Structure 1
Amino acid sequence: MDRVRTGARLVTTAAGDVEFAERGGGFPVLAVHGAVGGFDQAMTLANPLLARGMHVIAPSRFGYLGTPLPADASPAAPADAHIALLDALAIERCVVIGVSAGAPSCIEFAIRHPARCAALVLMVPLAYAPREPYRETIHLTPAARFLLSTGLQSDFVFWIGITHALTGLASRVLATPRDLIEAASPGERKRVQTFLKTMLPLRPRIAGTRNDARIATSLEPSHLRAVKAPTMILSGRDDGFGLGLGARYTARHIPGARHLTFERGGHILAGHGDEALAAVESFLDAHAR
């Protein structure tokens, strides 16, 4: 835990205690991590933006690492917690980047606090979409069930998987086709391995991950047409968590949203890391102001 907390701070806000890391200067970017994450995962994902002169603020969401899980942990509550953190840091306006299970609170941020959101980026987002008749919620996919039932049980087993069975672990935990990981370049495989390492240690991330699972199976429609910020969405059609449908629905209903879809790449957009980063950087060059 001490290793993980290196570089993090705990601040008391109007919404309670929030753990976060902060690096860089320039225009502020709020980087919001996905499931089995924390400030460290968000900072790892946003690290390339530091080289472009961005000021990255990376909080641990409710139930992750040093941020407690409150009674109300629905998507609107963490959105307001994001605002409370920005208030504590005297930051008036920022770009908001939400990854995977971090997307619901970022969408609510843009809806509830439009004047504070300069631009919205949703990467492989967990988002609402209409389902089959008489069923408005999603079921956990086999990959998600594995993550909750087996993948989070042992730091040692997880570490062994990262170092000695990367392809198998990544295909199940990160819901990405095995052949894509096997065919990935050394640099891309390193990206996958680095991302998996941000999930350790597991224990202080379990409460948040289970809360994310509850949210995933009970998502309700958001007032997407109220989003005023320029929006970019990135997703993969073969996302093993089944998030492509929600990404497409969100892109269709946010006015002017740009949607970059990869036919193959799974949940982590394997093989498209450089292309996805270039697209996000170009988008931010135009709107981070």
Structure 2
Amino acid sequence: MKMSMFFKIILLALAFLLLLIVVRYFICIDRANTRLNSYTKMTSSINTSFGKMTYIDKGSGEAVLICHGICGGYDQAYDALKNRLDDYRIIAPSRFGYIGSDMPQNATVKDQAKAYKELLDKLEIDKVYVLATSAGGTPAIRFALDYPERTKGLILYCSSMPYSVKPDTNEEYVGPPKQVCNNFTMWLISPLFEPLMGMDRSTINEILPINEKRDGIVFDSKVVNTDMNKNFDQYNVENLKVPTIVFNAKDDKMAVYSRTKSSVERFPNCTFISFESGGHLMTGNENKINSELDKFIDKYK
């Protein structure tokens, strides 16, 4: 009898714990959707050769095209410079497969760069600074290589970088496993963000909802994040015709400092700004970043 009561208590405790998990999950999703809706109100869309592209166009001053990272979208792109609307015109599109933008069949990074060009054509913007965060580095570098006449300068925030020498093996998939590319699983594993990626678990609030971004995440993992490896010879950054500034923190677990430092040497006109700490989001270095960004843009505008 006592044993039966014990198991009932255990089952009730487990049921309560499960209910608590579900409630916390739905609260988080609701907040994420509310947050995203606040950005959606600012968006516009165009039709490109590759389908629909949704973007935010806000601010005044020198135009900056922002290439967001993995698990992002126009919201993440906008956030990169949202506090600088009085200084810069922010062009913040969702990349292929992310919220509001179509996922073309058999798309390439060159296609993404061309889609950016079509957006600038539509907005009647002749030249821009191109700013990339994280996985957005690959399409940003591709754009600068393919369209130097449309690029005033390249700005890389803890972004993916080309290898210093050609790798011996090809990468096939670099990113979250497909099995975790859904709202619940990503939320459930968010406590692992700190040990695995050096980012606070609260970052989940900025990347949810994931379900609507799954196609973009898989495309990044299969194509974007492997492109500078598989097509090393096509990323001849030594021939870049535009100036570059690179920001990186020494404790970044995603854009590893040693690779960034060796890669920077390949860029012909490059300023390298490093931080002792701050992780992948360069937390705590905002004033220095803004100062160096302003100097770079003022110099080459």
Query: Could you tell me the TM-score, scaled by structure 1's length?
Result: 0.79
Give how far 1:274 is off. Answer: 2.9
Q: Which moved more, 1:263-272 or 1:69-78?
A: 263-272
Which residue is 2:182 aligned to? 153
Aligned to 1:213: 221
The CA distance in 2 between the partners of 1:17 and 1:72, in whole Å, is 16
* SS class of match (2:168): coil
Aligned ranges 1:87-106 → 2 under 5 Å: 87-106=121-140
1:235-268: CA deviation from partner (whole Å, max 9, x where unpaired)? 1233222543442343211112011122333211
Match of 2:152 in 1: 118
94, 104, 108: which is aligned to 1:70?
Answer: 104
1:197 aligns with 2:220: no
Structure 1 unaligned blocks of 5 or more: 162-167, 182-191
Aligned to 1:230: 243
Equivalent position to 2:45, from 10, 13, 37: 10
In structure 2, the partner of 1:171 is 194
**Structure 1 residues 83 and 271 mapped into 2: Cα distance closer, same or farther (>3 Å)?**
same
Find the aligned partners of 1:133 and 1:62 in 2 and give their Cα distance: 27
CA 1:276–1:148 in 2, change beyond 3 Å: closer, same or farther?
farther
User: Match of 2:29?
Assistant: none
The SS at the match of 1:20 is: strand
- Measured in 2, the distance between the counterparts of 1:120 and 1:157 equals 32
- For residues 166 and 144 of structure 2, the distance between their equivalents in structure 1, rounded to whole angstroms, comes to 28
Larger mean CA deviation between 128-137 and 74-83 belongs to 128-137
Tell me, in whole angstroms, the C-alpha distance in 2 between the residues paired with 1:203 and 1:48.
28
What RMSD over aligned residues (CA atoms) do the two structures have, in Å?
A: 2.8
Relative to 1, partners in 2 of residues 1:37 and 1:14: Cα closer, same or farther, differing over 3 Å?
same
Matches within 5 A, 1:239-250: 239-250=252-263
Shift of 1:10: 1.2
The TM-score, its normalising length taken from structure 2, stands at 0.77
Mapped contact 2:183–2:208 kept (Cα < 8 A): no
| Greater than 6 Å deviation, 4+ residue runs | none
Per the TM alignment, residue 24 of structure 1 is displaced from its structure 2 partner at its CA by 1.3
Q: Find 2:55's aligned residue among 20, 25, 29.
A: 20
Question: For residues 188 and 59 of structure 2, what CA distance do their matches in structure 1 show?
Answer: 30
Q: Partners in 2 of 1:10 and 1:45 — Cα distance?
A: 20
Asked if the contact 1:126/1:246 (under 8 Å) is kept, the reply is no
Say if 2:300 is the partner of 1:278.
no
Q: CA contact under 8 A between 1:176 and 1:270: conserved in structure 2?
A: no
1:35 to 52, 56, 70: 70
**Equivalent residue number for residue 189 of structure 1:** none
Higher fraction of helix: 2
Identity of aligned residues (%): 25
The CA distance in 1 between the partners of 2:65 and 2:166, in whole Å, is 34
Residue 49 of structure 1 and its aligned partner are, at CA, apart by: 2.3
Residue 27 of structure 1: CA displacement?
1.8
Aligned partner of 2:269: which letter?
A: G
Q: Distance in 2 between matches of 1:274 and 1:244?
A: 21
Greater Rg over alpha carbons, structure: 2
When residues 107 and 176 of structure 1 are mapped into structure 2, their CA distance, relative to the original with a 3 A threshold, is: same
SS at match of 1:69: coil
The 2-side partners of 1:159 and 1:283 are apart by 41
Per-residue CA deviations over 1:204-262 (Å, capped at 9, x if unaligned) read 11111111111324533201022111110111233222543442343211112011122
Residues 78 and 133 from structure 1, CA distance in 2 versus in 1: closer, same or farther, beyond 3 angstroms? Answer: closer
Q: Which residue among 52, 66, 83 is the counterpart of 2:117?
A: 83
Q: Which runs of 5+ in 2 are unaligned?
A: 1-32
The one of the two structures with greater contact order (alpha-carbon pairs below 8 A, sep at least 6) is 1
* Contact 1:130 1:136 survives alignment (8 Å): no
* Contact preservation (8 Å) 2:71, 2:217: yes
